[in-house]
Structure 1
Amino acid sequence: MDQILEVVALLLGFIGWVMVGVTLPNRYWRTSTVDGNVITTSTIYENLWMSCATDSTGVHNCREFPSLLALSGYIQASRALMITSIVLGTCGLLAALIGVKCSKAGGENYVLKGRIAGTAGVLFILQGMCTMVAVSWYAFNITQEFFDPFHPGIRYEIGEALYIGWCSAVLAIAGGACLTCSCKMGTKEKYPLPLHSRGTVYSGAAARSQAASTYGRNAYV
């Protein structure tokens, strides 16, 4: 494996994993501004866990969603996918730290380390895919409700958390792809040279005879 490519892939996977951890608790998954007079103008924003409102005076109030079963199906699915993404990223990061060549963990069995690194790359790709599906699905529902002329509720727009989620998914997929492509899954261990390829050892008269035939009899006195 190219060690530089491994380190780059590990950094991309780590940054993607950190950004997933930032995306999940971020409150601005979707936002909406309710205009009125100066006093009643407020900003409403939501994530996967709660809904918050802030008025023009700076006072904000948040309430958690009361029931899991009462939530929309895409919110429940996005929760599950984001949590799965963090778990996969954690496992991938640990496997990558063991599998890269510059790491002392795992000994010097480079065949095994290459396979662990390849597994870490697959885990990073799965992490990115879970994040991408969760964020894109959530954004699709926002745009669908926004452009629906018969939608009776508040029209939300895409919040900053979704953009962070998209960036984290791209970084995780790129890091996983680099790590998977760089590892040599089928590399064989270097075994000792076979007997027929080793140098022939001569002893005693056989060695002198061989030397005489090579350099001439006058080479030895």
Structure 2
Amino acid sequence: MRDLLQYTACFFAFFSAGFLILATWTDCWMVNADDSLEVSTKCRGLWWECVTNSFDGIRTCDDYDSIFAEHSLKLVATRALMITADILAGFGFVTLLLGLDCVKFLPDEPYVKVRICVVAGTTLLLAGVPGIVGSVWYAVDVYVERSSLILHNIFLGIQYKFGWSCWLAMAGSLGCFLAGTILTCCLYIFKGVGPERSYPYSMRKAYSAAGVSMTKAYIAPRTETAKMYAVDTRV
């Protein structure tokens, strides 16, 4: 059961970290809505803006100004939150790989490997926090901006809604939460399943050696006594 939980958490951690990194460096956090009059698809990301012509499919991208230039609070905060989530998710996934039973890292220390998995789970939980905050904040801000324009009957020719990059960030954050929950809660419950995993390897080896020596010491007197009784019987 513990192996199944580890592999399930590793699966979610791998794809969650990939989703977060992909969402951070793609260009479709905002996309023009279907009710706009544009004949091209405009996508805005955290670092650049791309326009795709609907007729010939030609795609052109323009980078934003330098990171030291003045940007909106939404853009700067989302960048910082997503980069933090990427770093934490990547570190949590690498740490989880070291804690897997199939990886030959500290094979004689199962307790240490369990603690490594718990550390990885905690890191993944922390990675989900800035990821979900940044993506939800960005999506809500886009929705509020569009709703306010519609409410005041202001039409600028193009309106935006949050795109697939934002959805990808949300999915990656939820995956981090799920993987972290499995590692910190479920794995802790099943860490003592099986007699071989209840004690460290060195303790099991010493206990086995002591048991064998005690068995030999206990069997030897009984064997000598049996021989004496056999001799007395012959006499």
What TM bracket, shorter-length normalisation? 0.7 to 0.9
Cα RMSD, aligned residues only:
3.3
**Could you tell me whether the CA contact under 8 Å between 2:108 and 2:200 is conserved in 1?**
no
- Which residue of the partner structure matches residue 92 of structure 1? 92
Comparing 88-97 and 152-161, the one that deviates more: 152-161
Give the superposition deviation at 1:8: 1.0
**Could you tell me whether the CA contact under 8 Å between 1:145 and 1:155 is conserved in 2?**
no
Comparing 69-78 and 25-34, the one that deviates more: 25-34
- Which residue of the partner structure matches residue 116 of structure 1? 116
- Which residue of the partner structure matches residue 8 of structure 2? 8
Comparing 102-111 and 139-148, the one that deviates more: 102-111
**Could you tell me whether the CA contact under 8 Å between 2:36 and 2:159 is conserved in 1?**
no
Give the superposition deviation at 1:200: 8.0
The count of corresponding residues between Structure 1 and Structure 2 is 215
- Which residue of the partner structure matches residue 63 of structure 1? 62
Question: TM-score scaled to structure 1, two decimals?
Answer: 0.80
Question: 2:14 and 2:118 mapped to 1: Cα distance?
Answer: 16
Structure 2 unaligned residues grouped into runs of 5+: 193-197
Question: 2:220 and 2:54 mapped to 1: Cα distance?
Answer: 102
Question: TM-score scaled to structure 2, two decimals?
Answer: 0.76
Question: 1:26 and 1:167 mapped to 2: Cα distance?
Answer: 15
**Could you tell me whether the CA contact under 8 Å between 1:124 and 1:175 is conserved in 2?**
yes
- Which residue of the partner structure matches residue 158 of structure 1? 162
Instruction: Report the 3-state secondary structure (helix = DSSP H, G, I; strand = E; otherwise coil) of the residue aligned with 2:102.
Output: coil
**Could you tell me whether the CA contact under 8 Å between 2:13 and 2:124 is conserved in 1?**
yes
Counterpart amino acid of 2:85?
A: S
Identity %: 24
Of 35, 40, 43 in structure 2, the residue corresponding to residue 42 of structure 1 is 40
- Higher share in helix: 2
Give the superposition deviation at 1:63: 2.1
- Which residue of the partner structure matches residue 168 of structure 1? 172
**Could you tell me whether the CA contact under 8 Å between 1:44 and 1:53 is conserved in 2?**
yes
CA-to-partner distance for each residue in 1:126-184, whole Å, 9 max, x for gaps? Answer: 22222111110100110110111357865311111111111111222111211223044
Structure 1 residues 217 and 24: alpha-carbon distance in aligned structure 2, compared to 1, 3 A threshold: same
- Which residue of the partner structure matches residue 74 of structure 1? 74
Counterpart amino acid of 1:201?
A: A
Instruction: Report the 3-state secondary structure (helix = DSSP H, G, I; strand = E; otherwise coil) of the residue aligned with 1:86.
Output: helix
CA-to-partner distance for each residue in 1:43-99, whole Å, 9 max, x for gaps? Answer: 322011112333444444332221434111121111111111111122111111111
